């Protein structure tokens, strides 16, 4: 019974018309052609200007922040429950 239902539903889906994708683009869009390639020189020039904003002070601040984050990450890698609390909890179970 279920197999017949599945086959009939699949058959109904196969009867639908495939959409006409060719006529979805109007003639004006089709006549535009391919876009022009842009040069990367303006982007690279902007990056060089931004690189001038990085000074030894900003580098030191960033390195200090990295060190702080590494210390914090190391603390987070430790056990969630310290040894004293774990021992007290185990005593409570027995």
Compute the average pLDDT of residues 42-61. Answer: 81
Q: Tell me which DSSP letter residue 79 carries.
A: -
User: How far apart are the C-alpha atoms of 76 and 67, rounded to whole Å?
Assistant: 14
Q: pTM for the complete prediction? A: 0.37
Q: What is the pLDDT of residues 60-79, one digit of tens each?
A: 999 999 999 999 999 888 88
User: How far apart are the C-alpha atoms of 52 and 45, rounded to whole Å?
Assistant: 11
How many Å from the N-terminal Cα to the C-terminal Cα in the chain? 60
Is the pLDDT assigned to residue 42 strictly greater than 80? yes
Query: Tell me, what's the pLDDT at 61?
Result: 94
Query: Tell me, what's the pLDDT at 84?
Result: 92
Query: Tell me, what's the pLDDT at 52?
Result: 74
């Amino acid at each position: 019974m279920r197999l017949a239902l599945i086959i009939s539903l699949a058959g109904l889906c196969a009867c639908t018309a495939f959409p006409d994708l060719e006529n979805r683009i109007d003639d004006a869009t089709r006549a535009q052609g391919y876009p022009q390639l842009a040069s990367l020189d303006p982007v690279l020039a902007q990056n060089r200007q931004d690189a001038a904003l990085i000074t030894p002070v900003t580098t030191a601040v960033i390195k200090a922040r990295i060190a702080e984050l590494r210390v914090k990450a190391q603390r987070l890698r430790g056990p969630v429950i310290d040894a004293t609390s774990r021992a007290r909890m185990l005593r409570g179970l027995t």
